[in-house]
Amino acid sequence: MGSQAPYQGHLFADYALLGIDGKPLAVVEAKKTSVDAEKGKEQARIYAEKIQKTTEKFVDGTGEDK
C-alpha cells in the first residue's frame, strides 16, 4: 500500500514503498507526460535523500529505465 513521505513541510512524494518495519524502501514521483521527466527524477532524488535512500532507479513511464 502506498504512503506519502513528507518533504520540506508541505510537499510529498506520490508514493513510498515501505518495508515490513515501516521504513521507506523507495519513493515514486509521478508526472504527466507533458512535464519534463528530469523534473520528476530530480524531485524523487531529493525525496530519497531526505529518507536516506542510497539507491535510485528512474523509469520515465515509457518502459525505459533512465
Per-residue pLDDT tens for 45-57? 888 787 765 555 6
pTM: predicted TM-score of the whole model, two decimal places: 0.53
Helix (H, G, I), strand (E, B) or coil at 45: helix
Chain position carrying cell 521507506: 24
**Per-residue confidence (pLDDT) for residue 17, from 0 to 100:** 85
- Looking at per-residue pLDDT, the higher value among 55 and 14 belongs to 14
Contacts of 58 (CB under 8 A, 6+ apart): 37, 41, 44, 65, 66
Q: Residue 7 — pLDDT band, cuts 50, 70, 90?
A: very low
Name the average pLDDT for the chain: 73
Kindly tell me if the per-residue pLDDT of 40 is higher than 70. Answer: yes
Amino acid occupying residue 65: D
